[in-house]
């Protein structure tokens, strides 16, 4: 074998090895695995519907996993659930003003940070919050409540999903 032939074979072999090693990294880098795409299907089990008391608000911590581009991480989010004879209402506990956690009170809900207050139906009553509480989509399946957990941009008049 000539030296030139050996170098040609070595070049091709090296190219194949580099391609083989880097292909998975290129695939993961180019594939769009944004958080938003994962969130689109993010229905989180919030428990049995029959366990929810009628005409009472219940504070619930949702525990779930989120998939980011490279990692899976645990997430905890507070929500408020109300079950009436007709339907179920779920509010995010994140204040639409600047994202503090709201709290249930006798009048409805209040935010401890800048004193926004909200009626039980989520309508803003007072304070700097630019919009009412963020209602979350729900569905019932096999006797269980599922909540589509989404976050919305704080400080805006309309709900703009951010993740
Ligand atoms: S964060 Fe709730 S009123 Fe400002």
Per-residue pLDDT in tens (0 to 9) along the chain, 163 residues: 777 777 787 787 777 776 666 655 544 444 443 333 334 468 999 999 999 999 999 999 999 888 778 888 899 999 999 999 999 999 999 999 999 999 999 999 999 999 999 999 999 999 999 999 999 999 999 999 999 999 999 999 999 999 7
Does 131 sit in the ligand 1 pocket, CB within 6 Å?
no
Q: What pLDDT shows up at residue 29? A: 44
Ligand 1 center from residue 143 Cα (angstroms) = 35
Ligand 1 center from residue 97 Cα (angstroms) = 5
Q: What pLDDT shows up at residue 25? A: 52
Q: What pLDDT shows up at residue 40? A: 44
Cross-strand bridge partners of residue 152: 161
Does 110 sit in the ligand 1 pocket, CB within 6 Å?
no
Q: What is the dihedral of CA 41, 92, 82, 127, to 10 degrees?
A: -150
Q: What pLDDT shows up at residue 28? A: 44
How long is the chain?
163
Q: What pLDDT shows up at residue 6? A: 74
- Tell me which residue has its CA closest to atom 3 in ligand 1: 114
Considering the entire predicted model, what is its pTM? 0.74
Q: What pLDDT shows up at residue 135? A: 98
Q: What pLDDT shows up at residue 93? A: 98
Does 82 sit in the ligand 1 pocket, CB within 6 Å?
no
H-helix or E-strand containing 80?
Answer: strand 72-83
Ligand 1 center from residue 128 Cα (angstroms) = 7
Ligand 1 atom, smallest distance to 112 CA: 2
């Amino acid at each position: 074998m000539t030296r030139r032939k050996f170098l040609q074979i070595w070049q091709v072999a090296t190219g194949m090895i580099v391609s083989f090693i880097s292909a998975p990294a290129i695939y993961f880098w180019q594939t769009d695995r944004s958080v938003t795409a994962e969130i689109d299907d993010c229905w989180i089990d919030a428990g049995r519907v029959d366990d929810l008391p009628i005409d009472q608000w219940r504070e619930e911590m949702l525990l779930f996993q989120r998939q980011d581009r490279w990692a899976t991480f645990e997430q905890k989010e507070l929500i408020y659930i109300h079950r009436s004879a007709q339907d179920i209402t779920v509010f995010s506990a994140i204040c639409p003003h600047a994202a503090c956690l709201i709290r249930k009170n006798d009048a409805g809900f209040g935010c401890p940070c800048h004193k926004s207050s909200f009626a039980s139906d989520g309508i803003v009553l007072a304070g700097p919050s630019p919009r009412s509480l963020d209602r979350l989509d729900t569905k019932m399946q096999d006797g269980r409540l599922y909540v589509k957990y989404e976050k919305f941009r704080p400080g805006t008049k309309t709900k703009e999903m951010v993740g």
